[in-house]
Amino acid sequence: MREARDPAFKGGRKQPIPASEGRSDQSKGRRTQPMPVFNGRREQPLPIRIVHWCNAVFLILMAGSGLQIFMAYPSLGPRGTQYGWYPFQGKPTPAWTRIGGWLGGGRHWHFAIAWFFVFNGIFYLMYFFLSGEWRRRMFRPWRDAHGAVAQFLYYLRIRRTPPPEDFYNGLQRFAYTSVIIFGVVMVLSGLAIYKPVQLHFLTILFGGYDGARVVHLAGLCLFTMFLAAHLVLVSLHPREILNMITGGPRE
């Protein structure tokens, strides 16, 4: 627990700012924040490791039970006016994707695990901001956008060398920050479907009940795409998996 108590980056030494990142900041008349040094803190502090692995379990249960619920009406759009653009109207997902066994079971699992998913997320976001971890994890366009594009081009083998990275590269920050936003959107769109009258302000936000279902399912697709990319990339960098278990080296 030592790392959790650390006052973190106070008085940290400054790291050189990559030349590519200085440019956009000058145009906005502000200085890039130097990457703080997280003295003695592990790459993956214990709270983040706990949240990560809990989340892995919760997300699988949420996705499986959600698809079980979806099976009862595997279509998008209201009765009589289903959306023409959705190519899979009436097609449920295969049995192996579903958890709960029946509609009621899927609902009970979904609404049970949702609480744990939400509180896990709230705990994560509190730690993320209060500990200062956001400084080395959160995607900030003026700092990370250039590196994210360069990293993407590198993965596509259009660029020969990876861009310089500090704690995370820009693309990692983009992905890991995006997935937090997906999580928030999933919770809000889920609430909009769960209580479309009592939480009507949320339902309006997503374009009505059937709009919220679209967003909720699209969120699942994005989560799945994230997971696929995440699994491929960590399998190419297995040390990162180990770090997420042991915490990795101290900074």
Partner 1 sequence: MSRLITRRRFIAGATAASLLTGCDAHPIKGFLGAMKDWNEKFEGFIFSPGRLAPEEAAADTTPESAFPAYFIADTMPTLPANWTLSVGGLVERELVLTLDQLQKMPRTDLRVRHHCVEGWSAVASWHGVRISEIAKAAGLKPGVRYVEFNSFDDDYFSSWDLGSAMHPQTILAYGMNGHPLGPNHGAPLRVYSAVKLGYKMCKYLTEVNFLPNKTGGYWEDQGYDWFGGV
- Binding residues for partner 1, rule: CB under 8 A, are 68-73, 75, 78-81, 101-109, 111-112, 115, 193, 195-200, 208-210, 213
Distance CA 183, CA 48 (A): 16
Output the smallest distance, CB 72 to partner 1, in A.
4
Output the smallest distance, CB 180 to partner 1, in A.
25
Quick one: 30 or 195, whose CB is closer to partner 1?
A: 195
Quick one: 52 or 107, whose CB is closer to partner 1?
A: 107
Quick one: 22 or 101, whose CB is closer to partner 1?
A: 101
Distance CA 159, CA 156 (A): 7
How is the chain split among helix, strand and coil, in percent rounded to 5? 65, 0, 35
Output the smallest distance, CB 33 to partner 1, in A.
41
Q: Which residues pair with 42 in a beta bridge?
A: 250
- 212 three-state secondary structure: helix
> Largest Cα–Cα distance of the chain, in whole Å?
64
Q: Are 61 and 108 in contact (CB under 8 A)?
A: no
Quick one: 20 or 198, whose CB is closer to partner 1?
A: 198
Output the smallest distance, CB 210 to partner 1, in A.
6
Quick one: 68 or 169, whose CB is closer to partner 1?
A: 68
Distance CA 216, CA 193 (A): 9
Distance CA 46, CA 51 (A): 9
Output the smallest distance, CB 76 to partner 1, in A.
10
Output the smallest distance, CB 124 to partner 1, in A.
21
The distance in angstroms from the start CA to the end CA of the chain is 15
CA distances from 27 to 31, 32, 142, 149 (A): 10, 12, 10, 20
Output the smallest distance, CB 188 to partner 1, in A.
15
DSSP-derived letter for residue 97 is: G
Quick one: 26 or 198, whose CB is closer to partner 1?
A: 198
Quick one: 114 or 148, whose CB is closer to partner 1?
A: 114
